[in-house]
Amino acid sequence: MRMACVALLLALAPLTASGAPIDPTRILPPPPADGSPAAKAELAEVEQTVASRTPEMLAQATSDDGTENPTIYRAVIGDGFDLEKLPATAKLMGDVMSAQSDAAGAAKKFFHRNRPWVIDPSIATCGPRGGPHSSYPSGHSTMGYATGVVLAALIPEKSQAIVSRANGFAENRIICGMHFRRDIVAGEVLGTAVAVTLMQDQAFKTEFDAAEQELKAAHLAQ
């Protein structure tokens, strides 16, 4: 199920060299066609997950559905992770948010995959349903990994907690009934690709260094 890291690195190599924006069609394979055995298996997973979710799982998935920004990491980084008081870090995260949004938007437009609730209208989603043909890749997962990978590089001593939060944030898209398994995996890959590509850019590196010093001064990083 997981996409090979080697393929990702090969896809990234010419992009980082040229500084060109990520082309998601060079990184992501097409999702399974509606009605195919693979698509049916994915739908069954969503249906089973939604049917078995606990109130606590639903509450967290609902909260994450409405929080598509780096504040999802406050609980693992610390209460002082307030971007209104961390201008250098806010600038860095703003650049990441813009890049991942462009990449995810282009991918959604290209692949045009139906959401789970389009295939099965009985699926109870945890929030507003949005675009019916924008399932692949998951935008939340893309955002979570793009920002999470950069933050993990900024605060390596908390990298495992940050990446774990990114993973849970992505998994909640299935619990929410909004995405299929391949959607969130594609978001993980695309978000990581965006982060790795940005961190090769010299201007971004300058912003990264400023954010790193700011987080250390705020005692959020060592």
The answer on pLDDT for 176 being more than 90 is yes
pLDDT of residue 11: 47
Arithmetic mean of pLDDT, 184-189: 98
Cα distance between residue 55 and residue 205, in whole Å: 42
Confidence of residue 147 (pLDDT cuts 50, 70, 90): very high
- Domain range spanning residue 189? 33-217
pLDDT of residue 22: 87
pLDDT in tens, 6-52: 344 444 444 444 456 789 999 999 999 999 999 999 999 999 999 99
Of the ranges 19-23, 119-123, 129-133, which is most confident? 119-123
Confidence of residue 3 (pLDDT cuts 50, 70, 90): very low
Arithmetic mean of pLDDT, 185-202: 96
pLDDT of residue 19: 52
Does the residue 67 lie in any domain? yes
Does the residue 25 lie in any domain? no
* Cβ proximity of 184 and 34 under 8 Å: no
Does the residue 63 lie in any domain? yes
pLDDT of residue 127: 87
pLDDT of residue 220: 98
Q: What is the CATH number of the domain that holds 72?
A: 1.20.144.10
Tell me the average pLDDT of the chain. Answer: 92
Does the residue 66 lie in any domain? yes
Which residues are CB-contacts of 39 (< 8 A; sequence separation ≥ 6)? Answer: 31, 32, 33, 119, 180
pTM here is 0.92
pLDDT of residue 20: 61
Question: What own/partner pairs with CB < 8 Å and gap ≥ 24 does 3-6 have?
Answer: 3/28, 3/29, 3/185, 3/186, 3/189
Does the residue 142 lie in any domain? yes
Cα distance between residue 76 and residue 163, in whole Å: 10
Cα distance between residue 15 and residue 36, in whole Å: 33
Does the residue 23 lie in any domain? no
pLDDT of residue 161: 98
Does the residue 2 lie in any domain? no
pLDDT of residue 21: 76
Number of domains in the chain: 1
Does the residue 10 lie in any domain? no
